[in-house]
Structure 1
Amino acid sequence: MTYRKAYQLYSSRNFPPLAAQLPTLKSFGYDAIEPWLPAYEADPKLFRRQLDDAGLACYGFHMPLVGLVDEPQRFIDIALTLGASLMIPPYVTPQEREDTPGYWRGLGEKLSRGGELAAPHGLKVAWHNHDFEYRPLPDGSRPIDHIFATGGDKVWFEIDCGWIVRAGADPAAELTRYADRIVAIQLKDTAPLGTSEDDGWTATGDGIINWASLVPLFARTAADHVVAEHDNPGDWQYFARRSIETMKALGL
């Protein structure tokens, strides 16, 4: 299966202006970008024009969980303006998190309510993981499982393989466990744990993840696109180019 290829614009936030990056990303072969707040917030219509001018699409965008809870219509309107189909809350701060199943079930319920509001517009709400959802709670259960158990069929999943590895979990097991829920796959790669350069992240294909072993599992998911992401690259163009070259070499 050939997947559409997106680039998480957060990766190159430290190399403004972002609009100037778009034609370069297109020349590397990307089909779309995945923006994060605040890249699109000031003027979503202008941001859409910049994407159109570069020949890039937007399949999904990262947004704050509080935005889904408190301002769902504003972010639904942004999604429609950008032409996105996925609204993706990616994070809760350490100060917000609680180590109880009830907290994570409540998060799943918030996502589900947002998904119900988004669905009539042809939109889906998807959670994006970091490492903390895979750290066992005191009772041995995992936050990620509580989120999806209570989220029900209105909550989808953008799986970040790099963060799963960082948490000491197995991305192959998670790709299998949540295959029906996964609508986007981030091919984030990580250097050996303890590496300090670039915060320990690498371009896809330069790290320790065995992507060739994971790719066959992708086809069992509901995903139709893959996403390159790096939290702090020293050279964003090398990261972007190397990552898409790896995607193509893997037959994605």
Structure 2
Amino acid sequence: MNNALSPPSLQDPSRRKLLKYSLLGLGTAALASPLSQAFAGSPAHKLQAGLQLYTVRDLMGQSVADTLKLVAGIGYKEVEFAGYFNLKAKEIRQILDSEGLTAPSAHVPLEVLQAQLDQVIEDAKIVGHHFIVLPYLTEPQRQTIDQYKSYAAFLNKAGEACKKAGLQMAYHNHDFEFQPINGQVPYDILLKETDADLVKLELDLFWTIKAGLSPLQLFERAPGRFAMWHVKDMSQKGDMVDVGTGVIDFAPIIAKGELAGVKHAFIEHDNSDNRVRTIKQGFDSLSKLLK
């Protein structure tokens, strides 16, 4: 198996048109290796529709308590945080408990992880997070392969600290990690130079497909590492849309959840023009797929 990722050009409109079908088009041959079969024998982990709260960040900024009440009222049981909005960890936990919610994961910026990892871990244990996720690299932070090598080393170190605390470090991708830098693909570096036990991956399905890759190929390449997914949908033009209204066929991805090692799936939309519609549409659509 060729372990190097080689994303196609995003400028090819026919590539986007075929994305809906390419997920199924991998067929049985690509997923018939002994390694993948080893993951296919036991029942898949029961997923439920979770929500990445970045989707409703403006509402969270107005009132965390009211927003989480709204989220719980739609039917969500799991959420992923992207900031506490000036509340203490204990206050966040009290709100979650009062609404019957859990928060298995939280996104924490690189600068905060580097400067305050001990505090992040302490807060995570109070709130009830299991995963601490590095969510994004700014443009200046992702100019060279050496930068990615340094992040891999940092993720391993942070992963060791998380493991000692009973937690798990993870990394969330966009599309830029799949774009070569001087002939090397940054996501290759993250996969190869992070310890599979210390650092899991939160695969953003939209950005992965936007980059021209199939999630199924990644599951085959690194089985068991993709503990979380971000579930976003894509229009025919390649724009982000509400889950269930676009062209991505999520069924074959969900069918390989055991191979991926997925434990949590979070609905997200980066720039919805109607937050309530988006999170309700996403919950209903994903919940049906997960039945």
TM-score by length of 1: 0.91
- The aligned residue for residue 212 of structure 2 is 168
Deviation at 1:183? 0.9
Question: Given the alignment, which residue of 69, 74, 77 partners 1:23?
Answer: 69
AA of the residue aligned to 2:48: R
CA distance in 1, matches of 2:242, 2:221: 26
Greater shift in the superposed pair: 124-133 or 211-220: 211-220
Question: Given the alignment, which residue of 35, 45, 49 partners 2:81?
Answer: 35
- The aligned residue for residue 151 of structure 1 is 194
Deviation at 1:41? 4.9
Is 1:188 the counterpart of 2:232 in the alignment? Answer: yes
- The aligned residue for residue 109 of structure 1 is 153
- The aligned residue for residue 215 of structure 1 is 254
Question: Given the alignment, which residue of 84, 100, 121 partners 2:129?
Answer: 84
Greater shift in the superposed pair: 76-85 or 237-246: 237-246
AA of the residue aligned to 1:203: D
- 3-state SS of the aligned residue for 2:194? helix
Question: Given the alignment, which residue of 5, 13, 17 partners 2:57?
Answer: 13
Provide Cα deviations, 1:49-100, integer angstroms capped at 9, x if missing partner: 1111111001000001222222110100111011010000111100121232
Contact 1:133 1:143 in 2 (8 A): yes
Structure 2 alignment gaps of length 5 or more: 1-43
Deviation at 1:40? 5.0
Greater shift in the superposed pair: 42-51 or 70-79: 42-51
AA of the residue aligned to 1:20: D
- The aligned residue for residue 268 of structure 2 is 229
CA distance in 1, matches of 2:85, 2:123: 8
Deviation at 1:203? 1.4
- The aligned residue for residue 134 of structure 1 is 178
- 3-state SS of the aligned residue for 2:141? coil
CA distance in 2, matches of 1:121, 1:5: 27
Q: What's the RMSD between the two structures over aligned residues?
A: 1.6
- 3-state SS of the aligned residue for 1:185? strand
AA of the residue aligned to 2:115: D
Greater shift in the superposed pair: 162-171 or 72-81: 162-171
AA of the residue aligned to 1:157: L
- 3-state SS of the aligned residue for 1:13? helix
CA distance in 1, matches of 2:116, 2:100: 30
Greater relative contact order structure (CA < 8 Å, 6+ sep): 2
Provide Cα deviations, 1:154-189, integer angstroms capped at 9, x if missing partner: 111011000112222222212332331111111111
Greater shift in the superposed pair: 84-93 or 181-190: 181-190
AA of the residue aligned to 2:187: I
Greater shift in the superposed pair: 57-66 or 1-10: 1-10
- The aligned residue for residue 39 of structure 2 is none
- The aligned residue for residue 50 of structure 1 is 95
CA distance in 2, matches of 1:9, 1:49: 17
Provide Cα deviations, 1:103-155, integer angstroms capped at 9, x if missing partner: 2121111111000011111100000001111112221x211110121111311
CA distance in 2, matches of 1:122, 1:29: 28
AA of the residue aligned to 1:176: E
CA distance in 2, matches of 1:3, 1:29: 14
**Length, aligned pairs only:** 244
Greater shift in the superposed pair: 164-173 or 58-67: 164-173
